[in-house]
Chains A and B, each alone.
Chain A
Amino acid sequence: ILNVEQSPQSLHVQEGDSTNFTCSFPSSNFYALHWYRWETAKSPEALFVMTLNGDEKKKGRISATLNTKEGYSYLYIKGSQPEDSATYLCASLRGYNKLIFGAGTRLAVHP
């Protein structure tokens, strides 16, 4: 994989549902994988920076896992709330300090 790909493109869930989305990235020359949350009319905000194969990170109801050998990361949201509605971006650190972003997963949580 040469690009960073995210799926699904968009997701609609009900409040209380748990959900997850995928980020695929080039596994060669891996440095780090970033997750950002981007709410409408705001700037992207970092959730996690992950560097080690098998890494798992958690922030409240949001967690992420990393598999650098096969080039994927999952983001999980447990018990989605309307305030979780946002676009979730992943980005692969390539070279010295160049982040390559995926297109994002747009999550809408309905009350």
Chain B
Amino acid sequence: EPEVTQTPSHQVTQMGQEVILRCVPISNHLYFYWYRQILGQKVEFLVSFYNNEISEKSEIFDDQFSVERPDGSNFTLKIRSTKLEDSAMYFCASSVDSNEKLFFGSGTQLSVL
């Protein structure tokens, strides 16, 4: 069965460093998302992406965050200058349509020291 893949599974970085989290969505899906879960908190929406542009973003998704689909298969989340509070599990997801179920990747655990 097709699946969403995410790399790396774990990322440790120093505060202030840039990180790029990578995702390969399911190939025939058109909508792509990033969510995150800070330990002990709810899963939070960050951003959705369709037709090569951001369709919605949350208040969390400030200028430090950006997303890109560089080559038609990868979907990346960049955090320019990481903060301690960015430590979380980051999930990529994709869906066929905006009102269809999401398929989640297995997540990248980001630790900012």
A residues within 8 Å of B by Cβ? 31-32, 34, 36, 42-46, 49, 51, 89, 91, 93, 95-104
Known A43-B91, A43-B107, A102-B42; contact A97-B101, beta-carbon cutoff 8 A: no
Which of B48, B58, B91 interacts with A96 by CB under 8 Å? B48
Closest to B3 in A: A43
A interface SS class:
strand
Contact: A101 with B50, CB < 8 Å? no
- The answer for the CA separation of A96 and B106 in the assembled complex, in Å, is 24
Q: Which residues of B in the span 49-91 have a Cβ within 8 Å of any Cβ on A?
A: 50, 55-56, 58, 91
- The answer for the CA separation of A34 and B98 in the assembled complex, in Å, is 12
Contact: A49 with B99, CB < 8 Å? yes
Contact: B44 with A46, CB < 8 Å? no
Contacts of A93 in B (CB 8 A): 99
CB distance from A81 to the nearest CB of B (A): 22
Interface residue range, chain B? 20 to 34
Closest to B91 in A: A43
Contact: A32 with B45, CB < 8 Å? no
Contacts of A91 in B (CB 8 A): 43
B residues within 8 Å of A by Cβ? 4, 31, 33, 35, 41-45, 48, 50, 55-56, 58, 91, 95, 98-107
In the complex, besides A43-B104, A97-B48, A100-B45, 20 extra interface pairs with C-beta distance below 8 angstroms are A31-B99, A34-B102, A36-B102, A43-B91, A43-B105, A45-B104, A46-B101, A46-B103, A49-B99, A49-B100, A49-B101, A96-B56, A97-B33, A97-B95, A97-B99, A98-B58, A101-B42, A101-B44, A103-B42, A104-B42
Contacts of A99 in B (CB 8 A): 33, 35, 45, 102
CB distance from A106 to the nearest CB of B (A): 12
Which of A34, A89, A97, A102 interacts with B31 by CB under 8 Å? A97
A-B contact pairs, 10 of them (CB 8 A): A31-B99, A34-B101, A96-B48, A97-B31, A97-B33, A97-B48, A98-B56, A99-B35, A101-B43, A103-B42
